């Protein structure tokens, strides 16, 4: 299948907040020319040399091609786009492509595409829409004639890469030539690129510098039903762009769910639906609510294994720990079943975002053979997060076990917390999960809740990301996109007004917006960085604290998944290793120590081994290295000086901590009395330091990177700061007249008095 | 000593003044106060307490909307945003942020609401039971009250009837110039005819009893003193002449007029009699006074309430 490669970048890891920069596969350094983020700085050369294309397509008239003509062109013998002879591999694939459900409706699609500027296309999983529709468009839109491209967005980077790979193969071209992809920090396109798969976030970034997206003649928003933040913003933007650019065509592609909503949003655009190729799935409910869904899930899996015919099992759970634990238990029980009850062998694979790729690939292994000839067939059981819900297809799944929960990002502007919480899934999600059982043959889905609960408790659709996110960085992007009136920006599902209010306020305190809501110079500069505004501002202002090199490293480290590895079996050893790098003043400085050690020659000799020995994630550190490189280029372009305080200087660490305050002054907490609890400034939430911190309990004031909401409130990645820095560096935020009368205000007042006294004595001298 | 006014009512729950802080805190007092405050601040709260506090603070913040003093609000106001508006152009846009629900256990979907439903059911049952008890209580009290009222009205009615009868007899005596006449029952005013009838019945009854007794005694094989003369008989409570007079005209005639009147509630009957007394005799039952003329100067009104 086209997107057989798993997408492992789903934000199911614990660190959602600041992951904006994504991994670059092997961690190789890219030259600036190939950096798509910088693509707008490179002049776009004229892409087409007409002699390079086959003559065949020049007979076509733009937006008048029939399915028949296109079929003939596809049949060869010459490649209509390159003029090369088509390979036998191509012919083989072509045959399969013609069997796909979308192919039946090629004529119908072309008719609607030609007639309308906007089209909503609905295709169930397995219809072939992601690979075929863009090709159908190519044969009719003929972007090469106008020196334009067709863009097809994907919510996930891995999907963009793997689909581009597949389509390049289908079109018998080299990936990166006629068909390419563009994801953050990796651009695999060339001047001859006609079809570009890209992440939705990437297209949004491009729009920031090219508000009318003039490079494209057709834009296809794929997987729109997933309603990612970037897709929602793009829809709002494109709704306006199509009015300004009558020559731009727009296709919204969605799975069946709620497609009429898209139609309505785009002024009753025509809708074309293609059935998927799925088998019926029988759904079973429990007679009564379950006391423990994990326990019920394990029981169900084992029961399926013991009594159901051949076929693999997919179990949905919520997170890494829960999944690993479940795998262990299923393994033990299954072994016993095999021994005692003559059940077939059962192999269990975990699947979650932070799992190393090599281990993720194991899920594609085929089920084990029977233990003896004629014995009961073996099966595999995959225990996964909601990664397996939409983003990847595992053949052979016949049984789905659905407890009805997933970890979902939530944001609440009232306490300014963005966190991952275990929440009930939506009806749409439950249907999607069930559908996974019917990919190869008729299947069964076991829902671990009652039918009444399904009907009454589950919401219809999962809330779109725009309702569950901090919009500070989106607001900055929109301002850069030239959207001035954010209040009336036509989003499909506008968030609560307080979300926008909070985002504007945060940007104002960060000096990215002035009091009128206009973009400031700092705001413009910050929008250049693919970072959270607080991180961008910290990075931009770091030269004032003589530590931009260190802050650059730190920003990169905060933008990648956790660099510390703590396997359940070796926790003590892992903690000892972490203590080697620990800095008494906090976690940020500790991370920096790790990075510096990682970059030393002795570590670089065999970095993989070194990371393994020190319980560090080689992958995360490699990513951080890459991100650092990319950010450094942007800094150089923006003429932000790179400098360091000499390490011998006693202010080396203090300067870094002060620079930290410049970005994170809105994430500060103060210890209550002498206890263990802290109270966050202004929001007044009672929090505890996350157990992973290296910081002792004696620090009165701390900045934190993350507010983690569980049954307890935690702040994670904390570093000690001094109250006089807060008053000095962020006087607007720490304007005491805006504070409620409480301990924090009193403490800050005392600090202020001390500072003033000191200054007056200084002046007297 | 003018003590009486100043004397404190030590049973009173009203605190006239907050206890006054001593004007001057002695150093010892200050030290003690500081120690107390320090101890309160230094006391390590239990984990449960801390968790509850953190949760309470969170819930409170989550329930509080951002104020319009927020800087972001002002920027939005520039584009015509007002408190209570929504964003965007769709009609059903959100007003409130999505609620945060933290799942604390491994309970399956529907378990919470199942628990809640069961809890509500139990509550509803208990509630219903409590209501039922209360309702019966209320009924009983009301019933008792009605009974009391009824009894009181009966009592008053009896008095009023007595008065009316007395006044009527007085008037009749005056008319007949001292010659007293027995008025036949059916000629007695219906208002107090019941009274007269009951008295009559009672007399008859007693008579019958006596007659029965005598007759029985006469038939029983008792000691019979032939020497007994009539005087002795009377002295022994026996009729001199055993005579079955009353037993023979036992049945009292049907009186439909009286029956209708008696069917009225006691209070109504009482009112009718009171009015009759006023009109006929210028007598106010409630004042207990007979006025010289129809104006009845000095009587506050017709009803009992007016005489309160």
Q: What is the CATH number of the domain that holds A248?
A: 3.40.50.300
Same domain assignment for residues A115 and A238:
yes
Token pair 């301990």 is found at A743
Residue A713 lies in a domain: yes
Between the two ends of chain B, the Cα-to-Cα distance in Å is 43
* Strand, coil or helix: B109: coil
| Among candidate residues A405, A437, A466, the one where a domain is terminated | A466
Residue A306 confidence (pLDDT) above 60: yes
Cβ contact A453–B97 (<8 Å): no
Environment class of B236 (CB within 10 Å of its CB; exposed 0-12, middle 13-18, buried 19+) = exposed
Same domain assignment for residues A413 and A559:
no
Average pLDDT of every residue of chain A = 87
Residue A13 lies in a domain: no
Cβ contact A292–B65 (<8 Å): no
A79-106 confidence digits (pLDDT tens)? 888 888 888 889 889 988 988 888 989 9
| Among candidate residues A209, A243, A274, the one where a domain is terminated | A274
A-chain residue closest to B96, CA distance = A496
Q: Is A262 on the interface with B (CB under 8 A)?
A: no
Average pLDDT of every residue of chain B = 77
Res B57: pLDDT? 83
Residues comprising chain A, all counted: 765
Q: In what order do the strands lie in the sheet with A195-199?
A: A186-188, A179-183, A195-199, A149-154, A216-221, A249-254, A118-123, A271-274
Same domain assignment for residues A177 and A266:
yes
Domain count for chain A: 4
* Strand, coil or helix: A635: helix
Return residues 383-422 of A near B (CB < 8 Å).
403-405, 410-415, 417, 421-422
Q: Is B166 on the interface with A (CB under 8 A)?
A: no
Cβ pair A175, A190 in contact under 8 A: no
Band of the pLDDT at B293, cuts 50, 70, 90?
Answer: confident
Same domain assignment for residues A118 and A237:
yes
Same domain assignment for residues A232 and A89:
yes
Measure CB to CB from residue A422 to each of B72, B89, B103 and give the nearest one. B103
Q: Which of A765, A701, A764 is nearest to A727 (CA)?
A: A701
Residue B23 confidence (pLDDT) above 70: no
ipTM over 0.90: no
| Among candidate residues A274, A305, A331, the one where a domain is terminated | A274
What is the phi/psi pair of residue A61, to 5°? Answer: -105, 135
pTM over 0.90: no
Residue predicted with more confidence, A518 or A10: A518
Alpha carbons A226 and A155: distance in angstroms, whole number: 8
Residue A82 lies in a domain: yes
Res A405: pLDDT? 95
Same domain assignment for residues A584 and A447:
no
Kindly list the residues from chain B whose CB atom is less than 8 angstroms away from the CB atom of residue A412. 62, 97-98, 100
Mean pLDDT of A355-365: 81
Alpha carbons A113 and A93: distance in angstroms, whole number: 25
Q: Estimate the share of chain A in helix, then strand, then coil, as percent rounded to the nearest 5.
A: 45, 15, 40
B95-141 confidence digits (pLDDT tens)? 899 988 888 888 999 888 888 888 888 888 888 888 888 877 777 88
Alpha carbons A566 and A471: distance in angstroms, whole number: 32
Residue A48 confidence (pLDDT) above 50: no
Res B285: pLDDT? 83
Residue A420 lies in a domain: yes
Residue B93 confidence (pLDDT) above 90: no
Cβ contact A412–B76 (<8 Å): no
Res B234: pLDDT? 65
Alpha carbons A177 and A193: distance in angstroms, whole number: 5
Helices and strands (DSSP H and E) totals, chain B: 10, 2
Q: How far A715 CA sits from the closest chain B CA (Å)?
A: 13
Which of A148-152, A259-263, B39-43, B196-200 has the lowest average pLDDT? B39-43
Q: How far B46 CA sits from the closest chain A CA (Å)?
A: 11
Measure CB to CB from residue B88 to each of A489, A712, A713 and give the nearest one. A489
Same domain assignment for residues A303 and A435:
yes
Which of A584-593, B3-12, B91-100, B280-289 has the lowest average pLDDT? B3-12
Same domain assignment for residues A159 and A188:
yes
Residue A657 lies in a domain: no
How many CB atoms neighbour CB B72 within 10 A?
Answer: 27
Res A443: pLDDT? 93
How many CB atoms neighbour CB A331 within 10 A?
Answer: 14
Residue A29 lies in a domain: no
Measure CB to CB from residue B72 to each of A457, A489, A503 and give the nearest one. A503
Q: Is A323 on the interface with B (CB under 8 A)?
A: no
Between the two ends of chain A, the Cα-to-Cα distance in Å is 79
Kindly list the residues from chain B whose CB atom is less than 8 angstroms away from the CB atom of residue A448. 108-109
Q: How far A59 CA sits from the closest chain B CA (Å)?
A: 45
Per DSSP bridges, beta strands A118-123 and A249-254 are parallel
Cβ pair B273, B157 in contact under 8 A: yes
Same domain assignment for residues A447 and A310:
yes
Residue A158 confidence (pLDDT) above 50: yes
Residue predicted with more confidence, A566 or A556: A556
Cα torsion B277, B281, B286, B291 to 10°: value is 160
Alpha carbons A90 and A645: distance in angstroms, whole number: 59
Alpha carbons A29 and A41: distance in angstroms, whole number: 19
Residue A23 lies in a domain: no
Residue A50 confidence (pLDDT) above 70: no
Q: A619 lies in which domain range?
A: 483-644
Same domain assignment for residues A697 and A608:
no
Mean pLDDT of B24-32: 83
Interface probe for A, chosen from B58, B70, B81, B109 (most Cβ of A below 10 Å), is: B109
B-chain residue closest to A470, CA distance = B97
Band of the pLDDT at B216, cuts 50, 70, 90?
Answer: low
Mean pLDDT of A655-659: 96
Residue B184 confidence (pLDDT) above 80: no
Token pair 């009203």 is found at B14
Cβ contact B62–A492 (<8 Å): no
- Range list of β-strands (E), A586-728: 668-671, 678-680, 686-689, 701-709, 713-721
Band of the pLDDT at B10, cuts 50, 70, 90?
Answer: low
Res B2: pLDDT? 45
Band of the pLDDT at A574, cuts 50, 70, 90?
Answer: very high
Cβ pair A297, A326 in contact under 8 A: yes
Same domain assignment for residues A619 and A706:
no
Residue A12 lies in a domain: no
How many CB atoms neighbour CB B245 within 10 A?
Answer: 11
Band of the pLDDT at B241, cuts 50, 70, 90?
Answer: low
Residue predicted with more confidence, B87 or B170: B87
Residue A70 confidence (pLDDT) above 80: yes
Q: Is B108 on the interface with A (CB under 8 A)?
A: yes
Q: What is the CA radius of gyration of chain A?
A: 28
Mean pLDDT of A168-187: 89
Res A11: pLDDT? 40
Cβ pair A504, B81 in contact under 8 A: no
Residue predicted with more confidence, B220 or A761: A761
B-chain residue closest to A488, CA distance = B88
**Residue A531, C-beta contacts closer than 8 angstroms, at least 6 positions apart:** A18, A20, A21, A473, A539, A555, A559, A631
Same domain assignment for residues A636 and A692:
no
CATH, residue A612: 1.20.120.1080
Interface probe for B, chosen from A227, A235, A414, A737 (most Cβ of B below 10 Å), is: A414
Q: Is B96 on the interface with A (CB under 8 A)?
A: yes
Return residues 447-486 of A near B (CB < 8 Å).
448-450, 452-454, 456-458, 463, 467-468, 485-486
Cβ contact B42–A414 (<8 Å): no
């Amino acid at each position: 299948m086209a997107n057989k490669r798993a997408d492992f970048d789903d934000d199911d890891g614990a660190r959602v907040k600041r992951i904006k920069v994504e991994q670059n596969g092997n961690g190789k350094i890219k030259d600036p020319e190939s950096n798509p983020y910088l693509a707008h700085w490179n002049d776009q050369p004229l892409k087409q040399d007409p002699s390079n294309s086959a003559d065949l397509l020049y007979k076509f008239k733009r937006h008048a091609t029939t399915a028949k003509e296109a079929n003939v062109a596809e049949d060869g013998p010459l490649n209509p786009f390159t003029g090369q002879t088509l390979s036998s591999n191509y012919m083989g694939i072509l045959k399969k492509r013609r069997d796909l459900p979308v192919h039946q409706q090629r004529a119908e699609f072309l008719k609607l595409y030609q007639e309308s500027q906007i089209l909503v296309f609905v295709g169930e999983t397995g219809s072939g829409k992601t690979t075929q529709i863009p090709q159908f468009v190519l044969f009719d839109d003929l972007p090469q004639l106008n020196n334009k491209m067709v863009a097809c967005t994907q919510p996930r980077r891995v999907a963009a890469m793997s689909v581009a790979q597949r389509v390049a193969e289908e079109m018998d071209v080299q990936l990166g030539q006629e068909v390419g992809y563009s994801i953050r920090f990796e651009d695999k396109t060339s001047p001859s690129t006609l079809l570009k798969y890209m992440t939705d976030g990437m297209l949004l970034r491009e729009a920031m510098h090219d508000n009318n997206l003039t490079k494209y003649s057709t834009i296809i928003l794929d997987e729109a039903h997933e309603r990612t933040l970037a897709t929602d913003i793009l829809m709002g933007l494109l709704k306006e762009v199509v009015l300004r650019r009558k020559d731009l065509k727009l296709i919204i592609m969605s799975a069946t769910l709620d497609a009429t909503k898209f139609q309505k949003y785009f002024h009753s655009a025509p809708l074309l639906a293609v059935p998927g190729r799925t088998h019926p799935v029988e759904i079973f409910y429990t007679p009564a609510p379950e006391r423990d869904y994990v326990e019920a899930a394990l029981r169900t899996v084992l029961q399926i294994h013991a009594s159901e015919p051949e076929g693999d099992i997919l179990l949905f759970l919520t997170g890494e720990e829960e999944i690993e634990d479940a795998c262990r238990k299923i393994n033990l029980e299954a072994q016993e079943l095999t021994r005692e009850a003559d059940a077939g062998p059962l192999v269990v694979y975990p699947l979650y975002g932070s799992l190393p790729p090599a281990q993720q690939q194991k899920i594609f292994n085929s089920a084990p053979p029977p233990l003896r000839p004629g014995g009961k067939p073996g099966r595999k059981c995959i225990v996964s997060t909601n990664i397996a819900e939409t983003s990847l297809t595992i053949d052979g799944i016949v049984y789905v076990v659905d407890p009805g929960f997933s970890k979902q990002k939530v944001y609440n502007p009232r306490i300014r917390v963005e966190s991952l919480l275990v929440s009930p899934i939506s009806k749409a999600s439950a249907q999607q999960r069930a559908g996974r059982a019917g990919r190869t043959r008729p299947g069964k889905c076991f829902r671990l809740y009652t039918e009444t609960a399904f009907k009454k408790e589950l919401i219809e659709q999962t809330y779109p990301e725009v309702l569950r996110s901090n919009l500070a960085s989106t607001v900055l992007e929109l301002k850069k996109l030239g959207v001035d009136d954010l209040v009336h920006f036509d989003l499909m599902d506008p968030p609560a007004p307080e979300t926008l209010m909070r985002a504007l306020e945060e940007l104002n305190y960060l000096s990215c917006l002035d009091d009128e809501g206009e973009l400031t110079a700092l705001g413009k500069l910050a929008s250049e960085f693919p970072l959270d505004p607080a991180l961008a501002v910290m990075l931009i202002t770091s030269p004032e604290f003589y530590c931009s090199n260190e802050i650059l490293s730190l920003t990169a480290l905060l933008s990648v998944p956790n660099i510390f590895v703590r396997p359940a079996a070796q926790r003590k050893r892992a903690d000892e290793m972490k203590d080697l790098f620990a800095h008494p003043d906090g976690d940020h400085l500790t991370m920096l120590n790790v990075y510096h050690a990682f970059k030393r020659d002795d570590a670089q000799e065999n970095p993989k081994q070194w990371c393994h020995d020190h319980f560090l994630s080689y992958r995360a550190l490699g990513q951080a290295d890459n991100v650092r490189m990319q950010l450094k280029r942007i800094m150089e372009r923006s003429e932000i000086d790179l400098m360091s305080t000499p390490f011998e200087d006693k202010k080396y660490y203090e300067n870094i901590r002060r620079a930290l305050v410049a970005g994170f002054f809105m994430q500060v907490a103060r210890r209550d009395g002498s206890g263990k609890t802290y109270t966050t400034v202004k929001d007044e939430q009672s929090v505890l330091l996350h157990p992973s911190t290296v910081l002792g309990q004696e620090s009165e004031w701390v900045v934190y990177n993350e507010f983690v909401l569980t049954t307890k409130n935690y702040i994670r990645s904390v570093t000690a700061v001094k109250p006089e820095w807060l008053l000095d560096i962020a006087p607007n935020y720490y304007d005491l007249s805006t504070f409620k009368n409480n301990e924090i205000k009193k403490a800050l007042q005392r600090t202020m008095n001390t500072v003033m006294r000191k200054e007056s004595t200084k002046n007297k001298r | 000593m003018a003590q009486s006014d100043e004397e404190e009512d030590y049973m009173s729950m009203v605190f006239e003044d907050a206890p006054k802080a001593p004007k001057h805190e002695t150093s010892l007092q200050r030290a003690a106060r500081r120690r107390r405050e320090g101890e309160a601040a230094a006391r390590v709260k239990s984990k449960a307490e801390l968790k509850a506090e953190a949760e309470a603070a969170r819930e409170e913040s989550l329930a509080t909307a951002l104020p319009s003093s927020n800087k972001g609000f002002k920027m939005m106001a520039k584009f015509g945003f007002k408190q209570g508006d929504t964003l965007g152009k769709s009609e059903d846009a959100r007003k409130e942020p999505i609620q945060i629900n933290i799942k604390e256990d491994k309970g399956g979907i529907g378990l919470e609401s199942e628990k809640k439903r069961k809890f509500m059911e139990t509550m509803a049952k208990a509630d219903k039971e409590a209501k039922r008890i209360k309702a019966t209580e209320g009924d009983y009290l009301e019933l008792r009250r009605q009974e009391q009222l009824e009894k009181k009205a009966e009592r008053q009615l009896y008095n009023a009837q007595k008065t009316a009868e007395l006044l009527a007899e007085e008037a009749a005596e005056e008319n007949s110039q001292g010659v007293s006449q027995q008025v036949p029952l059916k000629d007695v005013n219906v208002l107090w005819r019941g009274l007269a009838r009951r008295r009559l019945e009672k007399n008859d009854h007693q008579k019958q009893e006596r007659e029965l007794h005598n007759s029985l005694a006469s038939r029983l094989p008792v000691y019979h003193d032939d020497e007994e003369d009539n005087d002795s008989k009377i002295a022994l409570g026996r009729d001199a002449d055993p005579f079955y007079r009353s037993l023979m005209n036992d049945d009292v005639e049907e009186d439909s007029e009286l029956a209708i009147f008696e069917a009225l509630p006691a209070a109504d009957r009482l009112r009718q009699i009171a009015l009759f007394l006023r009109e006929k005799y210028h007598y106010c039952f409630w004042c207990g006074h007979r006025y010289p003329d129809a104006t009845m100067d000095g009587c506050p009104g017709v009803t009992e309430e007016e005489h309160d």
